[in-house]
Structure 1
Amino acid sequence: MNTLLKRQLLRGLLLAACLPGVAMAASIQALNYSSREVDYIAVENPGNTNSGGGGDSIRPYGQGGSICCFSVPEKWHADLKVVVVYQLSPDPTFHRETVSVPQYPDGKSGDIWLIVYEDGSVGAVVSLYGPSRPEWPGKIKGYPVPTKEYRDERRKEKIKREKAVLHSMENALDGDVSDLTPVELMRLKGAIEYSKKLINILEENDK
C-alpha cells in the first residue's frame, strides 16, 4: 500500500471515529455516462477540502476503480450533501459541485458513487448495490454504455488511423526494399494484407 493510499485510509478512519452517526469509511467508485474523458473526479465534505477522497480518471462511458476512502453516515438524512470535484478533458478547469445524496436503498449505507452525466452535470449516490441492480438509486439504471454516435465516431477515427498506417507500409514496399531480408519482406507484405482486411471489416461495419 503506497503512502498516499495509507493517508487516505487513515483520514477516512479518523473521520469516521470522530463524527457522530458515521458507520464506515466507504470505498469511492465513479461512473462516466458521458462522451467526454474525465481527467479527475473526487469527493469532499462541504466546507472541508481536507476531507477529500478519490482522484480517479475515467474513459468515456467507463467506470473507475475502487478507491479508499470517504466517510458516509450510517443513516441517510434529508440534508446529506457532498462536493464532487471534477475535471473534464480538454478543459483544465477543476470544478466543485455540491450535490444532494438520495436516500440509501433499503436504508443501508455502502460505497459512494460519483457520477458524470452526458450533459456535464455530476451527482453522487451511496449504495450497497451496483448500477445493474434494481435497488440502484441513481437516475440512470445500469452501467454506462457508449452511444451509437460515439461508436461510429471512434470507428471512423480507427479507419483513418489504419489507412495512414497502410499508406506508410505500401510506400515502404514501393521503395527500396533491398535492405530487407526475405523474412522481413514477407512480414511487411503480410502486415499490408492484414491492414487491408481490417479496413474492409471496419468500413463494412460503418455502413
Structure 2
Amino acid sequence: MSALLKRQLLRGLLLAACLPGVVMAASIQVLNYSSREVDYIAVENPGNTNSGGGGDSIRPYGQGGSICCFSVPEKWHADLKVVVVYQLSPDPTFHRETVSVPSYPDGKGGDIWLIVYEDGSVGAVVSHYGPSRPEWPGKIKGYPVPTKEYRDERRRQKLKREKATLLTLERVLLRDINILSVEDIKETQEIIEFQRKLIQSLEGKP
C-alpha cells in the first residue's frame, strides 16, 4: 500500500469516527466486587493514554460514578477492547489491563461500567441496563454485596475503636473529676453510658 493511500485511509477512518452515530459519550460507572479498596480506576482506549476518563476511589463491595465522559462506539463490534487502569490498596502499583467488552444488550450503547472482581482482575461492559436487570451483560449479576466475613471484620474493627474511645473517656473523667463542673461531669457520664450501650450492641448483647 502506498504512503498516499495509507494517508487517505487514515483520514477516512478519522472522519468516520467524527460522524454522528458512530461514537457516543458514555458516563463511567464502577463496581467493586472485591474486599479491597480501589484507590484509583479509569478507562482508556487501547494505544491512546490521552483518551482516559474516571479516576474514582471505591470502597470494598461498593460502587461509584457517574463520571462524564468516555467515548464508546454506538454499535458493538467483535474486537471492541478498552484499557482499565487501576490501583488496589495497599499496593501502590498502577496496573493496566486490556479487556474485551461483551456485546451490548439489545444492541444499544450505554454507560461504560468498570468492574473489579474478588481475585483482583478487572473487566468492562457497556450497558444502558444496571447490574440488577436480567439483560445485564456482566459475568456477575447484581450489585456488589459484602460477604459475611467482611461484615464481621468491619464490626470487629468498629468494636475495637469504640472500646478505645470508651477507655479514653473514662480516663479523662477520672483524671479531671475534681476540676470539672457538675454539668460537665454529668454530660461526660452520659456520653460514657451511650458508649457502653453502643459497645453492647456491637457485641450482640441486649
Q: Specify the SS of the correspondent of 1:160.
A: helix
Q: Specify the SS of the correspondent of 1:204.
A: coil
Q: Distance in 2 between matches of 1:41 and 1:143?
A: 18
Counterpart in the other structure of 2:142: 142
Q: Deviations over 1:7-55 (max 9, x none)?
A: xxxxxxx999637863311111101011100010000001110111111
Q: Distance in 2 between matches of 1:69 and 1:16?
A: 20
Structure 1: gaps of 5 or more residues: 1-13
- Are the aligned partners of 1:45 and 1:83 in contact in 2 as well (CA < 8 Å)? yes
Which consecutive segments of 4 or more residues in structure 1 shift more than 6 A?
none
Q: Specify the SS of the correspondent of 2:142.
A: coil
Q: What is the TM-score normalised by the length of structure 1? A: 0.88
Identical-pair percentage:
81
Alpha carbons of structure 1 residues 16 and 123: separation in structure 2 relative to 1, 3 Å: farther
Q: Specify the SS of the correspondent of 2:63.
A: coil
Q: CA deviation at 1:157?
A: 0.4
Matched, 1:112 2:112: yes
Higher radius of gyration, 1 or 2: 2
Q: Distance in 2 between matches of 1:22 and 1:106?
A: 17
Q: CA deviation at 1:152?
A: 0.2
Counterpart in the other structure of 1:6: none
Q: CA RMSD in A?
A: 1.9
User: How many residues in Structure 1 have an aligned counterpart in Structure 2?
Assistant: 192
Structure 2: gaps of 5 or more residues: 1-13
Counterpart in the other structure of 1:156: 156
Q: Specify the SS of the correspondent of 2:197.
A: helix
Amino acid at match of 1:166: L
Q: What is the TM-score normalised by the length of structure 2? A: 0.89
